[in-house]
Structure 1
């Protein structure tokens, strides 16, 4: 028993001596060899100016672990260098004061647990190379993913005057963040304040916000609060809510505000392909569920503005293979037609020319957006390229409805309804329907963006468009009546609106039954060539129109007139020739013929040459007179009107004159037959 007692006493004494030595040991004596060991272990230079260790019993631990003390390690003047493949003299970390509480009792479980980490007056520089190698990896060779069977658990983090710089060459990211723990955790759970500055894709970045002060990578059941305001280029993002398990974004629930110059700028930021738009702002509820196999973002009940148009609805972004899917429904109570211009490449003063320099597709390849092309002088059709590079990054299935559309100069379109489907770089607008002036404009558009140039085809049907309501901005329209009908079917290839029309093939037909035309009406419609012709033929007076029928064939951008006839109360006007959509050149002959035997000055043929922007309308003289007249006569006699018969509306009396003209294209109604018809409600001016 004595021997056992002495042995036990010796062991306890040795243990007490060891504890006393460890408790009071001057750790600076081993600082130099420890620096060397850490440098070899981490494959980068490590140095410390002062090292101390103290032990304590934590108050928040229960069970047998509560009997075991934990060491608090304090390092002053800590410097951790970069690996050798990093160029320059910078360091990974420089810290004035670092205090860390570790739990050595879980090391047998291959867990590196830090109960508390306090960092004061530190600068960290995190870098990712173009090939994906990162300077914070503890392996010797550059690698983007270093596998390890150890797990890391950080329980509490407190930062004071900590500056972090993050540089990512692959994503063109260069950010500086200033981090400071709040004096105490707020009632909402915010414990960390931060500020951002730098650039992303060479666009300036500014931001600030607050987040949770307790970081738990193992027990993430409690939501992690965030409140952030970040501006990237011209895009402002505000989010307030919570994240569940921040280490893997298991769920996100925030109130989100977005504001920017165009929704297209959101693609390199959020990865969602959206069209070019005017300036916008939205606010709604964003919920993200990112469990494997159920990765979905839902932006529900949002409201906002796009240009001067309002917008609301719900969108869902689902991550799937081979491409993500954007689906949902959008609504607008008041839609300004001008705000739709950027969707088709039309110049808009509201659009900003600056864009983020590069985006990436689903495979991570850099995509350079199409550069903005200045509209050439004298060209009317838009030449700005339609970029389809980002179409392959996702699919879409979105329905949109607008209750009222407002055009500039008070031209109202009743409504719009469309179904946008994007699948494997093929875009379908089926349908794209408008309510126009009491009638309907039904359109189906297919655009194949799988190759260059892109291929597109369009089918358009216009029915019962009331002339009296079509241009309410014209003061003379109180005397107008009748309807416009039309059909168009075109297909072409090109990378802009101008190129598509310049290579288009198809047919275009239009019919106006019983109405009036005037210079003021044509000015309101923006039809410069028609305005000049009518002015030369009839002067400034209103002209009663019995019928106007036109039929064009389009071959490789060249519109050839099969039939173009205006039947008025006193004259028949035939138009022949071509319109070149590729060069925007006009080559038209206009031949009027009076219906009565009285002296009538409309017998001189006219021509319309020049371009869309600068038309040249004049009078044929000499031998050209016979040639123009013969061409007009040949066009009328040789070309049938049968193709225009489906455009008639037999249910209205206004169609009677068109029915007669189309049934007998070479015959004009006799004056006595015209006198038996119901006279118009206003007196027609005497033609010159």
Structure 2
């Protein structure tokens, strides 16, 4: 009986221990706080994110689906951005629920809910590639093999719902000059609808104000890939508007899209900051097409729209991963106005009031807008463009077919062909960068161009005839004007059977100047042009004259002079002589001089007896060497072929053209030769040489207004 107390005493410590453990568990349950783990969480998060991260409270609800919630989350800026006034990110609370059962049994991480209450973030990227959203120590993107990047996207957790309440982002992306405030909100799932994401942005982009609204599917759609991700985006950047609607297929795998893109604005050149593709100035446009993409290409296909009064359509393919970006464009138009394409040659399709005023005061007659070399270096491009019908107010043409390449800033115009009736205007050119200029070589061929087709826009025009010839240019410059001002080359142009001269000159040269020249020529009204030939070399920006011949049924007019594209001035003289003995007297030499934009027509001494008004003229007739060009341009049996042969064998009235340097009776006149021997001797004279010294420059008092010119010539013809 004495053993029982000993046994009870031996069991007593065990009972005490069990009781103590039970008490401890009870006390732990009563007083447990997950906040005890806050320092550990802060330390681990700071090390993981490479920036100080803190939470105020930690809450955990254990269960098959465990819910973890933190309060007052704060993530500070990384070291390169410590001076920023705002935190990198913060939130009133962050809640994450984890499906523990799914992970234990299927090794699949499933997060039924991620909820952020009043989250804010300050996202910054500098021009030197440093940013605050790459979680590395120096803020520079971590280089990873492509396969690792792909596998990382495939291993993202399955998210049931991402819930954002009253979110706000500040995004500053210096490479694109973007600085925006973005409000973020989500809607909860309803049935099969997994919710939506709403973004409203306002701020600046590419030095233009921007507003944008995006409504998309829940972010979970990016990783589930079970259904297309819906997209509804509206953007206004300055005067440019764009909408993008449709859906994206398997966005994490770049599987493609069914998106409808519409964009409109006053000028396509303003799209450069948005797209990175340099486009010359254009008139107002509105274009709609289908946008698709893959991992390597962005495709804008089957688009249609308007650009000014022209229609435009085609396909555009970009590879933004290449440096420079590669662009392949296949464009087309059913009808295009040449004015709308002016920006592609340096003209201004649309001009502001200040530009119009500047143009009115400028003496430049050719487009002088410089080609932007840095922008050309931003892309390599292959562009084809075909227009079924082209027209503007003065030059209605039939077709355009062009193809060009841009490679490392070099432009190679493989072809620029215009169909005009049964004829062709064909061009080729290369422009190689040389510092801020382009080393340029260009050629234009005119083959059997129907003048009536060219002039058909002019009401009641009776112009007709066939145009042929060539033009070449070699120069260094960065605009059409600067290339011509420094150019070498020349123009040989032939007009065969040109029709009514009164239907041509006023339209080509302007009504006032054209009528003044017609009067100065002294030809009868509605004279038919049998042949017109211009053979004019260009040297260092100055056009001189080898040959200028105008042949009609009654008279032959020869010209001599220069056109200076450096100073945008001309100094030209024309002399008309009768081929028909029934015509009594025709006016002699007269001058066209001054600015090309507004020249002055000055009659010669035969009218007013002003010897000083007649400059030294050295006329030469067309050489037989021009016959191959004439035959190429207008045909083998043209009137121009016969005119060249006639001028060489039998000059009008037996007078060699070179002998008509000055009007008879003036100080430096040359007596007309009347025999064939004089013709032969004149042919030995070096072309372009005058028989006398050049006259002094015209004085202001020797100039006449167009009205005075018309009156003077009218009086002369009545005698």
TM range (shorter): 0.7 to 0.9
1:69-80 correspondence runs (5 A):
70=66, 72-80=67-75
Aligned equivalent of 1:681:
none
Aligned equivalent of 1:398:
383
Match of 2:178 among 148, 173, 178: 173
- Give RMSD over aligned pairs: 4.1
Q: Is the 8 A contact 1:137 1:146 kept in 2?
A: no
Aligned equivalent of 1:56:
63
Match of 1:268 among 265, 273, 277: 273
The alignment partner of 2:282 has SS state of coil
Q: Kindly indicate whether residue 366 of structure 2 is the aligned counterpart of residue 381 of structure 1.
A: yes
Aligned equivalent of 2:339:
338
Q: Kindly indicate whether residue 453 of structure 2 is the aligned counterpart of residue 469 of structure 1.
A: yes
Q: How far is 1:342 from its partner?
A: 1.0
Q: How far is 1:180 from its partner?
A: 1.1
Which sits farther off after the overlay, 45-54 or 87-96? 45-54
The alignment partner of 1:469 has SS state of helix
Q: How far is 1:176 from its partner?
A: 1.7
Q: Kindly indicate whether residue 450 of structure 2 is the aligned counterpart of residue 453 of structure 1.
A: no
Q: Is the 8 A contact 1:642 1:662 kept in 2?
A: no
Which sits farther off after the overlay, 396-405 or 546-555? 396-405
Q: Kindly indicate whether residue 633 of structure 2 is the aligned counterpart of residue 647 of structure 1.
A: no
Which sits farther off after the overlay, 640-649 or 397-406? 640-649
Match of 1:83 among 75, 78, 83: 78
Q: Is the 8 A contact 1:190 1:226 kept in 2?
A: no
How far apart in 1 are the matches of 2:486 and 2:238?
38
How far apart in 1 are the matches of 2:633 and 2:126?
73
Q: Is the 8 A contact 2:493 2:533 kept in 1?
A: yes
Aligned equivalent of 1:357:
none
Q: Kindly indicate whether residue 617 of structure 2 is the aligned counterpart of residue 631 of structure 1.
A: yes
Aligned equivalent of 1:533:
517
Which sits farther off after the overlay, 591-600 or 605-614? 591-600
The superposition leaves residues 527-586 of structure 1 with CA deviations (integer Å, 9 ceiling, x where unpaired) of 575553223223793222221111011111111100001112222211101111221110
Aligned equivalent of 1:488:
471
Aligned equivalent of 1:593:
577
Q: How far is 1:235 from its partner?
A: 2.9
Q: Kindly indicate whether residue 243 of structure 2 is the aligned counterpart of residue 258 of structure 1.
A: no
Taking a change above 3 Å as real, the CA distance of residues 567 and 88 of structure 1, as seen in their structure-2 partners, is same
Q: Is the 8 A contact 2:382 2:406 kept in 1?
A: yes
Taking a change above 3 Å as real, the CA distance of residues 16 and 508 of structure 1, as seen in their structure-2 partners, is farther
What TM-score comes out, normalization by structure 2 length?
0.77
How far apart in 1 are the matches of 2:189 and 2:534?
78
Match of 1:238 among 220, 224, 243: 243
Aligned equivalent of 2:217:
212
Aligned equivalent of 2:206:
201
Q: How far is 1:83 from its partner?
A: 2.9
Match of 2:491 among 504, 508, 512: 508
Which sits farther off after the overlay, 536-545 or 424-433? 536-545
Which sits farther off after the overlay, 337-346 or 184-193? 184-193
How far apart in 1 are the matches of 2:633 and 2:259?
58
Q: Kindly indicate whether residue 10 of structure 2 is the aligned counterpart of residue 25 of structure 1.
A: no
The alignment partner of 1:477 has SS state of coil
Taking a change above 3 Å as real, the CA distance of residues 391 and 94 of structure 1, as seen in their structure-2 partners, is same
What TM-score comes out, normalization by structure 1 length?
0.80
Q: Is the 8 A contact 1:239 1:254 kept in 2?
A: yes
Q: How far is 1:177 from its partner?
A: 1.4
How far apart in 2 are the matches of 1:547 and 1:594?
15
The superposition leaves residues 309-338 of structure 1 with CA deviations (integer Å, 9 ceiling, x where unpaired) of 112222322457565432243221111111
Aligned equivalent of 2:349:
348
Which sits farther off after the overlay, 25-34 or 418-427? 25-34
Q: How far is 1:85 from its partner?
A: 3.2
The alignment partner of 2:507 has SS state of helix
Q: Is the 8 A contact 1:425 1:450 kept in 2?
A: no
Q: Is the 8 A contact 1:591 1:605 kept in 2?
A: yes
Q: Is the 8 A contact 2:370 2:479 kept in 1?
A: yes
Which sits farther off after the overlay, 130-139 or 497-506? 130-139
Which sits farther off after the overlay, 245-254 or 306-315? 245-254
Q: How far is 1:74 from its partner?
A: 2.2
Aligned equivalent of 2:557:
573
How far apart in 2 are the matches of 1:500 and 1:222?
57
Aligned equivalent of 2:506:
523
Q: Is the 8 A contact 1:426 1:450 kept in 2?
A: no
Aligned equivalent of 2:531:
547
How far apart in 1 are the matches of 2:565 and 2:53?
71
How far apart in 2 are the matches of 1:626 and 1:305?
56
Taking a change above 3 Å as real, the CA distance of residues 645 and 238 of structure 1, as seen in their structure-2 partners, is same
The alignment partner of 2:546 has SS state of strand
How far apart in 2 are the matches of 1:15 and 1:216?
49
- The number of equivalent residue pairs is 630
Which sits farther off after the overlay, 41-50 or 607-616? 41-50
Q: Kindly indicate whether residue 90 of structure 2 is the aligned counterpart of residue 94 of structure 1.
A: yes
Q: How far is 1:399 from its partner?
A: 2.2
How far apart in 1 are the matches of 2:254 and 2:384?
29
The gaps in structure 1 that reach 5 residues or longer are 1-5, 59-69, 355-372, 672-684
How far apart in 1 are the matches of 2:57 and 2:596?
81
Which sits farther off after the overlay, 169-178 or 150-159? 150-159
How far apart in 1 are the matches of 2:360 and 2:25?
84
1:313-324 correspondence runs (5 A):
313-318=314-319, 323-324=324-325
The alignment partner of 1:485 has SS state of strand
The superposition leaves residues 98-121 of structure 1 with CA deviations (integer Å, 9 ceiling, x where unpaired) of 2122468979x9999755211122
Which sits farther off after the overlay, 580-589 or 650-659? 650-659
Q: How far is 1:211 from its partner?
A: 1.3
Taking a change above 3 Å as real, the CA distance of residues 468 and 32 of structure 1, as seen in their structure-2 partners, is closer
Taking a change above 3 Å as real, the CA distance of residues 298 and 132 of structure 1, as seen in their structure-2 partners, is closer
Name the structure with the higher strand share: 1
Taking a change above 3 Å as real, the CA distance of residues 518 and 431 of structure 1, as seen in their structure-2 partners, is same
Q: How far is 1:88 from its partner?
A: 3.4
How far apart in 1 are the matches of 2:85 and 2:32?
35
The alignment partner of 2:166 has SS state of strand
Q: Kindly indicate whether residue 93 of structure 2 is the aligned counterpart of residue 123 of structure 1.
A: no
Q: Is the 8 A contact 1:649 1:655 kept in 2?
A: no
Q: Is the 8 A contact 2:305 2:312 kept in 1?
A: yes
How far apart in 2 are the matches of 1:666 and 1:586?
31
Aligned equivalent of 1:366:
none
Q: Kindly indicate whether residue 599 of structure 2 is the aligned counterpart of residue 615 of structure 1.
A: yes
Q: Kindly indicate whether residue 404 of structure 2 is the aligned counterpart of residue 420 of structure 1.
A: yes
Q: Is the 8 A contact 1:159 1:180 kept in 2?
A: yes
Taking a change above 3 Å as real, the CA distance of residues 470 and 159 of structure 1, as seen in their structure-2 partners, is same
The alignment partner of 2:586 has SS state of helix
Q: Is the 8 A contact 2:316 2:329 kept in 1?
A: yes
Q: Is the 8 A contact 1:209 1:227 kept in 2?
A: yes
The alignment partner of 2:558 has SS state of strand
Q: Is the 8 A contact 2:469 2:633 kept in 1?
A: no
